[in-house]
Amino acid sequence: MSINTIELLNQQLAIKDKQIKDKDEQLKSMQKLLDQSQQLQLMAERKIEEFKVITSKQSKHDKPVLNNANDLKQKNAWWHFW
């Protein structure tokens, strides 16, 4: 092998090393973004669950339970204006 060939191979190797290093940085960045995305998704799911619990409690609180048929009749009576 000539000196020029060795120098060319060394240059190519240095370029490949830099490309690998750049790809490693990209992978680290993508992993960080993926982690952040997963954390945001988990937070959103928790907020949705909290909202469901709150609205469920409000719904149960707002609707009186009719215990028997008489309560239902009185509630649905046409003359019951208030």
Range of the domain at 32: 3-58
| pLDDT for the residue 5 | 96
Q: Distance between CA 33 and CA 52 in Å, rounded?
A: 29
CA distances from residue 16 to 7, 11, 30, 36 in whole angstroms, order as listed: 14, 9, 21, 30
Q: Is residue 37 part of a domain?
A: yes
CA distance 44 to 42: 5
Per-residue pLDDT at 74 exceeds 80:
no
- Looking at the domain assignment, is residue 69 inside a domain? no
Question: How many structural domains compose the chain?
Answer: 1
pLDDT of 65 above 70: no
Model confidence at 59, pLDDT cuts 50, 70, 90, reads confident
Residue type, 77: A
The answer to whether residue 35 is domain-embedded is: yes
Q: What pLDDT does residue 8 have?
A: 97
pLDDT surpassing 60 at residue 72: no
Tokens matching residue 75: 């509630």
Mean pLDDT value of segment 50-59: 89
Instruction: Please report whether residue 16 resides in a domain.
Output: yes
Residue 77 lies inside a defined structural domain of this protein: no
Residue 82 reports pLDDT greater than 60:
no
Residue 78 lies in a domain: no
In a domain, 66, yes or no: no
**pLDDT band with cut points at 50, 70 and 90 for residue 61:** confident
Q: Which two tokens stand for residue 57?
A: 């409690």
Residue 21 inside a domain? The answer is yes
* DSSP annotation of 68: S
